[in-house]
Amino acid sequence: MRDVSRRRFVQATGAAVAAGTLAGCTGNGGGNGNGNGNGNGNGNGNGDGDGAEVPQEIDDFLSGANLYDGSIVDMTGEDEVTIMVGAGDGGLAFDPAAVRITSSTTVVWEWTGEGGSHNVASVEDSESDFQSEIVGEEGHTFNQSFDNTGIQLYVCQPHETQGMKGAIEVVEE
């Protein structure tokens, strides 16, 4: 198989005929190039589909946060969205960690019952102030609606240092 592809390559590009090893290397390089190209293409496609990139402020804040993979989940246009509290393997994550919503959307945080007692508390740099009680029971909920556009940053205070952080980008309707 390898010989065949190399031969094809050499025939196709007269310039690289000089060294068989060089042609082999170039052939491998071409393969890698294709892989990278596909990866980038998919990444860009997803970003465009979601409408925008993750705001830098959110990306910085969520650096190292549990379940944050560098993307933001588009939940715009919904009356109500749900974010799980106590998600992930250890129950120390918000899921999704980053969401984009429309102003006037109500966010409902719902406790899974995993990972001990949690709360939802905005941090100083957040556009709005909000804070729930610290509870552990499954099914507990905390609601907050956001009328102003902007970036909402919050943590679970008992687990902030363990990466339990979340962010919401509120955009215009």
Long-range contacts made by residues 124-130, C-beta under 8 angstroms, separation at least 24?
125/57, 125/61, 125/151, 125/153, 126/151, 126/152, 126/153, 126/154, 127/151, 127/152, 127/170, 128/152, 130/154
Span near Cu ion by CB under 5 A; candidates 24-32, 37-45, 72-80, 114-122: 114-122
Q: Which is nearer to Cu ion, 112 or 152 (CB)?
A: 112
CB atoms near residue 118 (< 10 Å): 30
Span near Cu ion by CB under 5 A; candidates 7-15, 46-54, 141-149, 160-168: 160-168
Min separation Cβ 163 and Cu ion, Å: 10
Q: Which is nearer to Cu ion, 72 or 91 (CB)?
A: 91
Q: Which of 107, 159, 165, 170 binds Cu ion (CB under 5 A)?
A: 159
Name the residues that contact Cu ion, by CB under 5 A.
118, 156, 158-159, 164
